[in-house]
Amino acid sequence: MTPRRAILHKWALSATLAALLLTFALSAVAENTAATPVSREDSPRWTKRHQSMADRLKEGHAGVLWIGDSIVERWEGPGRPLWNRYYRHRDAVNLGISGDRTEHVLWRLDHCNLECVSPKLAIVMIGQNNGPDNTAEEIAAGNAAIVSLLRQKQPDMKILLLGITFRGEKPNDEQVKLAKTNDILAKMDDGQHVFYMNINHVFLSPDGMIPKTLMPDCEHPNREGCRVWAEAIEPKVAELLGEKPIKPESDAPKWRPSCPPRRR
């Protein structure tokens, strides 16, 4: 090989290596973090709560699974009276952890003894915390991965996939993104195993604002918020469980927006 050819050959190899490195770099950037399982084991609270869930499922019984983030975890706080009314007798298990994103739920579902139980229904609402960092398509893909994993582990279980609730008192860009995500999630409803339901309307006043009478911080439901949430999905939950719906609280007042309507 002549010196000129050797130089050209060396240059070609360098160019090829650079192209491969660029390809790998682009692949890493293109990876959907919302659909890649990851734990939060660096958080003592998260680890403790996850372990308590795994221990609970290891007991071998669960009729309903509630899967999500801090919003789902609220059923154990201000929503406890409603949980006792609608879900306790159904042997429901709360698998909500504050701060979780779709990727964290994916990891948890693969490490929580899910094979030890045979629930009839899983209610899933997750993805709000992905809003700042992922696209609508990526968040939807994370939800799709969760649904796929649940179908794999519990093929006879029905899944009620809830639209992701909004946050922020006023309409904002994240709400637009999550609304787009919900439009994609709606297409996952197959009418046999996966059922989609969007209840964002019950948390919005006529002008699109989130009333503080339901979500004081415009993100997490209080007791009243949990009530309207439970009542909104109860007919579908009962249908999927083959039961009669639980009657709403007869003396519960209708919610009113915390402020007069405003124009957008």
Tell me the C-alpha distance between 126 and 204, whole Å: 19
Active-site residue, from 55, 91, 133, 217:
217
Q: By the 8 A CB rule, do 93 and 123 touch? A: no
Hey, which residues does 92 pair with through a beta bridge? Answer: 64
Residue 146, classed as helix, strand or coil, is helix
Look at the block and give the residue holding tokens 């045979």. Answer: 118
Looking up tokens 């964002």 gives 200
Structure tokens at 1: 């090989």
217 given a catalytic annotation: yes
Check if the beta carbon of residue 257 is closer than 8 Å to that of residue 202.
Answer: no
156 conformational bin, left if phi > 0, alpha if psi -120 to 50, beta if neither:
alpha
Is 145:110 a contact under the CB 8 Å cutoff? no
Single-letter code of the amino acid located at 124: V
Pairing state of beta strands 92-96 and 121-125?
Answer: unpaired
Catalytic residue among 39, 70, 98, 258: 70
Residues classed as catalytic: 70, 217, 220
